[in-house]
Structure 1
């Protein structure tokens, strides 16, 4: 089944339907955040989502019940693949490197996930600060104190 990308409004509606799994229009409208769109607008989006095969319909008397046809996990996988393809040259490792660079992912989290030690990113500023603060050299005053102690 080919999955199409959703617009922001369609994705918002699908988020509601993914939580409900199946619902009547009334239930969908109750779940919509404020400001709620008009019911006709939501109905139009539902029609589009049925055409895009994200939803199926069941007629129960005079009303319709809408069921999710494409699970959230499938859509998330589709969006992730297209995102990596578009912005990272289809390289998952470039995505991970960027996530680490922008501090959305810690190397220690990668270690937890994959069980291998991931080297920390070089950071010249933190290296400089560490150099300044660790293993300080003794100054002239410290040397004088040491000489005075030896004389006594």
Structure 2
């Protein structure tokens, strides 16, 4: 069983079938979001998914029942491996770093899954603005004078 990429429409149909596990054509049509495609279009895509071995087919009288052959977890793993390879040079740490940079992942999130003995500190890039000589001069003039704690008697 070789997993291949699905088109957007094929994946949308598979999302419905992964939830249903198996379904007749009309059940797939009911599960699809609005605007619903034409039944002939859905039928064609179901045949393609059978050819790609994502679905198995069982004939019941004059109608067909479609069952999931590749579980969602297997497809998810396949997509994640390709995503890591294509966008992060197959380095999971680069993905985690990017998630930290975008504030989509925090140290607390990691603590839910791992017992971490060290503190996770994401890289923080701060832009340091250099003050001009004139700005420094104005700041110096407007700065409040420091009070002397010890007074001479």
Task: Report the TM-score range of the alignment, normalised by the length of the smaller protein.
Answer: 0.7 to 0.9
8 Å CA contact 1:55–1:70 kept in 2: the answer is yes
Structure 2 Cα separation of the partners of residues 92 and 13 of structure 1: 29
Structure 2: gaps spanning 5 or more residues = 128-143
Q: Give 2:63's aligned residue.
A: 63
Instruction: Provide, for residues 64-113 of structure 1, a one-character-per-residue CA deviation record: whole Å limited to 9, x for no partner.
Output: 10000001011000000000000110111111111111111113312332
Structure 1 Cα separation of the partners of residues 88 and 28 of structure 2: 36
Structure 2 Cα separation of the partners of residues 111 and 73 of structure 1: 24
- Name the TM-score, length of structure 2 as normaliser: 0.81
The total of aligned residue pairs comes to: 136
More helix by share: 1
Displacement of 1:147 in angstroms is 5.0
Q: Note the aligned Cα RMSD (angstroms).
A: 1.9
8 Å CA contact 1:4–1:52 kept in 2: the answer is yes
Displacement of 1:115 in angstroms is 2.0
Q: Give 1:118's aligned residue.
A: 120
Q: Give 2:145's aligned residue.
A: 140
Structure 2 Cα separation of the partners of residues 51 and 64 of structure 1: 15
Q: Give 1:86's aligned residue.
A: 86
Displacement of 1:58 in angstroms is 0.6
Structure 2 Cα separation of the partners of residues 140 and 50 of structure 1: 81
- Name the TM-score, length of structure 1 as normaliser: 0.82
8 Å CA contact 1:57–1:65 kept in 2: the answer is yes
8 Å CA contact 2:100–2:122 kept in 1: the answer is no
Q: How does 1:1-152 map to 2 (within 5 A)?
A: 1-116=1-116, 117-124=119-126, 140=145, 143-144=147-148, 146=149
Structure 1 Cα separation of the partners of residues 51 and 25 of structure 2: 17
